Homo-oligomer: A and B are copies of this chain.
Amino acid sequence: MSAGKKTTPSRPRPADRVEHWDIETDVAIVGFGGAGACAAIEAADAGAEVALFEVASASGGSTELSSAEVYLGGSGGTRVQKACGYEDTTKAMFDYLMAAGGDLADEAKVRAYCEESTKHFDWLVSMGAPYKNTEYKERAIMALTDDCLLYTGSEKCWPFREIAEPCPRGHNLEIEGDNGGPLLMKTLTDQVEKRNVRIEYNARALTLIHNVEGEVLGLVVRIDNKELNVRARRGVILCAGGFVMNPKMLKQYCPRIADGPLPIGNPGDTGSGLLMGQAVGGALVNMDQHFITLPYYPPSSLTYGIFVNAQAQRFVNEDCYHARVASRALDQLGGKAYLIVSAEDYGHPSFMNAPIVGTGETVEELAEEVGLDSEMLRHTVDFYSRHAAQGEDPLFHKSAEWLKAMNAPYAALDCSLGEGAIYAAFTLGGLDTLPTGEVLTTEKDPIKGLYAAGRTACGIPRSASGYASGLSVGDATFFGRAAGRASAAHEPGL
C-alpha cells in the first residue's frame, strides 16, 4: 500500500504492494444499476463466482431513476413489434443508428447491438420484464400508460426517414405512469439474488489493482471503513455510471452542461469508474458529448409551431426528437431559441416551463415583443405557412402530419438555455470498449482483466442530436450482459 497516500480512483494499486487478498472471486462488478445487474446475471449463469459492490445501500443506479424504456428491434421485429404489425429489419435499425451517431458512431457496437437486439428483448422477458403487445401512438417523451411500443427517436423525421425505413423501437414496460425504472431494477435485482452472487452494499470501489504488465487483477473497496483488496480472477467490470454529478469533471470535459441544465442521474454518477479505468490506461472518449433535452412536448400540438433563432430563422424540423431540437438550439449563434406557436395550438408544456415572452395579433407585434427582426420573422412565418398549407416544408422537411399554416394570434416561448426553460442533461463519454466490454487503451489494445458497461463506457448513444429514448438502458443492459459473459470466459490471471 502507498503509505500515507489517500487511495483515489486515479491512483491504481500495484499488485506487488498487495500483501493480502481480503476477498477472492472470479468476477468483481462495480455498481448495481442496470448494467451491473445484467453483468452479474450473465457471469453467474456462465458459471463464474461473482461479487457485486454497490456504493449505495440498495440496487438501482440511474436505471431505476429512468423510465427504463429499451430501444430494440431488427431481425424481423421483437414480439411486440410483430404483434403491432411492424416487421423491423436489422438493416433499417443499423442504418438509423449509424446515421444518428454520425461520425461519432461505434460501428462494431452498433452492429452487435442491432444483430442481437431481439434476442436481448427475449432475455429481458425471460428475466421477468413485462411488455404488452400494444402500441402507444401519441408523440410523447415517454408512454405514461402500460402500452409498450412507441417511436422514441427521430426515425420518422428528415433526414433519417430517407436513410432508413422508420420503425418504432422504444419498448416501455407494462406499468402505468413513469414507473418503469423501479420495475426493471426490481426484476433484475430478484434475478441477481437468486444466483451465486455476493452482494456488498455501502461498498465504495476506491481503485483498481494491476500488475506491472498492466493487467487488472482486482480492486480496492472500502466496506465498514476498511480498505479491502479484492482479487478478481476473471476480471473487474466497471458499471459505476457516468460523471454528471461531478462538477469538476463536467467543467473539465463537458463544460456546456456544467452550469444550467439539470443533471439527470444518481448521486453515484461521480465518474469514479471512468477515473479508475483511465488510471490503468483506459481511453476516455466522447467526453464532450452529452444528452440534453428541452422537453417541449407534450402537448404534441406545440409541434405545429416553429423554432427560430436570434436571426428569426428556423433551424430544425420541429417534429424530431426533443434532444435533437435541444442540441440544435444550443448550436445557434448567440444561443437564443424561441418556439413560435399559433394560439390555437398552444398548450402549456408539462415539463418545459419556458416563459412566454411575446404574444401578438400580428407577427410584427410578436417580433417587437420578443426583440426579433420583424421583417425576418414575417418572412419566416409566411414562407413556412404558405408551404405548410400544401403539406410541404422545403427547408427542413418536417413531416406532413405536423404541417399546417400558422394563424394569428401568436405566442412565443423563450427556450434559450438560462432563460427559464427546463433543460436536463447527462454525460455520454466514457471508457472506450470493445463490444465485449473489454476496455481499450488509446492505442486500441484491450486491457487484460478490465471491462466496462453502462455509462462508465462510451456506448451506442453518442450525442444529443442522434439520441433516442431507450438507448441508454438498452445499451447498459445489453453490453452489461456482454461484459459479464466475456469476463466469465476470461482465463484466470496468475
Stretch at the interface among A4-12, A109-117, A216-224: A4-12
Identify the interface centre among A2, A255, A442: most chain B CB within 10 Å of its CB: A442
Cβ proximity bits A252-285 to B, threshold 8 Å, 1 near / 0 not: 1101101000000000000100110011010111
User: Which B residues are CB-close (under 8 A) to A285?
Assistant: 252-253, 287
Residue from B281, B283, B286, B287 within 8 A of A11 (CB atoms): B281
Query: Which residues of A are at the interface with B, using a C-beta cutoff of 8 A?
Result: 2, 5, 8-11, 14, 17, 103-104, 159, 212-214, 248-249, 252-253, 255-256, 258, 271, 274-275, 278-279, 281, 283-289, 311-316, 328, 331, 333-334, 373, 375-376, 379, 383, 394-396, 432, 441-445
| CB atoms of A284 and B281 under 8 A apart | no
A-B contact pairs, 5 of them (CB 8 A): A10-B442, A14-B212, A252-B442, A375-B383, A376-B394
For the A-B complex with A248-B443, A333-B396 known, give 8 more contacts whose Cβ atoms are closer than 8 Å.
A10-B443, A17-B212, A252-B432, A285-B287, A311-B396, A328-B333, A373-B395, A376-B394
Least CB distance from A17 to B in Å reads 7
Asked whether, in the complex, the Cβ of A333 is within 8 Å of the Cβ of B315, the reply is yes
Determine if A442 and B275 form an interchain contact, defined as CB atoms under 8 angstroms apart: yes
B395 and A311 form a contact (CB under 8 A): yes
Please name all residues of chain B whose beta carbon is closer than 8 Å to the beta carbon of A289 when the two chains form the complex: 288
Could you tell me the distance between the alpha carbons of A9 and B252 in the complex, rounded to whole angstroms? Answer: 23
Q: Given A17-B212, A379-B379, is A331 in contact with B331 using a C-beta cutoff of 8 Å?
A: yes
Chain B residues, Cβ within 8 Å of A103: 255-256, 258
Determine whether the beta carbon of B379 is less than 8 Å from that of A394. no
Bound-complex Cα distance A387 to B453 (A):
55
Query: A334, B281: Cβ atoms under 8 Å?
Result: no
Q: Report A285 CB to chain B, min CB distance, Å.
A: 6
Chain B residues with Cβ below 8 Å from A274 are: 442
Q: Which residues of B contact A104 (CB under 8 A)?
A: 255
Q: How far is the CB of A493 from chain B (nearest CB, A)?
A: 16
Q: Write out the residue numbers on chain B whose beta carbons fall within 8 Å of the beta carbon of A383.
A: 375-376, 379
Name the distance in Å between A417's Cβ and chain B's nearest Cβ: 11
Closest to A281 in B: B10
C-alpha gap A14/B445 in the complex (Å): 20
Which residues of chain B are within 8 angstroms of A396 by Cβ–Cβ distance? 311, 333
Q: What is the CB-to-nearest-CB distance from A185 to chain B, in angstroms, rounded to a whole number? A: 29
**What residues on B are CB-neighbors of A432 within 8 Å?**
252
Minimum CB–CB distance for A431 against chain B, Å: 12
CB of A455 to closest CB in B, whole Å: 16
Closest to A3 in B: B213
Nearest CB of B to A290, in Å: 12
Cβ of A400 to closest chain B Cβ, rounded Å: 18
Query: What is the distance, in angstroms, from A480's C-beta to the closest C-beta of chain B?
Result: 23
B252 touches A283 (CB 8 A): yes
Q: Which residues of B contact A159 (CB under 8 A)?
A: 334
Complex-state Cα separation, A402 to B395, whole angstroms: 28
Q: Which residues of B contact A312 (CB under 8 A)?
A: 395
The answer for the CA separation of A444 and B246 in the assembled complex, in Å, is: 13
| A135 to B: closest C-beta gap in Å | 30
With both beta carbons as reference points, the residue of chain B lying nearest to A251 in the complex is identified as B103
**Complex formed: what's the CA distance from A286 to B252 in Å?**
8
Nearest CB to that of A444 among chain B residues? B248
B10 touches A445 (CB 8 A): yes
Distance to closest chain B CB from A460 (angstroms):
16
Choice from B315, B316, B333 contacting A316 with Cβ under 8 Å: B333
When chains A and B are docked, how far (Å) is the Cα of A2 from the Cα of B212? 7
Instruction: List chain B residues, Cβ under 8 A from A212.
Output: 2, 14, 17
> What residues of B have a CB within 8 angstroms of the CB of A287 in the complex?
285, 287-288
